[in-house]
Chain A
Amino acid sequence: GQQVMQIPQYQHVQEGEDFTTYCNSSTTLSNIQWYKQRPGGHPVFLIQLVKSGEVKKQKRLTFQFGEAKKNSSLHITATQTTDVGTYFCAGKERDTGRRALTFGSGTRLQVQP
Chain B
Amino acid sequence: GAVVSQHPSRVICKSGTSVKIECRSLDFQATTMFWYRQFPKKSLMLMATSNEGSKATYEQGVEKDKFLINHASLTLSTLTVTSAHPEDSSFYICSARNGDYGYTFGSGTRLTVV
Interface residues of A, Cβ cutoff 8 Å to B: 1, 33, 35, 41-45, 47-48, 88, 90, 99-106, 108
Q: Which residues of A contact B100 (CB under 8 A)?
A: 48
Is the Cβ of B43 less than 8 Å from the Cβ of A45? no
A90–B42 CA distance with the chains assembled, in angstroms: 14
Number of interface residues of B (CB under 8 A): 23
Classify the secondary structure of B's interface with A: strand
Contact indicator B49/A99 (Cβ below 8 Å): yes
The segment from B11-19, B66-74, B76-84, B103-111 found at the interface with A is: B103-111
Q: CA A45 – CA B100 in complex, angstroms?
A: 10
Q: Jot down 18 A-B pairs with beta carbons below 8 A, ordered by A.
A: A35-B105, A42-B93, A42-B106, A42-B108, A43-B93, A43-B105, A44-B105, A45-B101, A90-B103, A100-B34, A100-B49, A101-B46, A101-B103, A102-B46, A103-B43, A103-B44, A103-B46, A104-B43
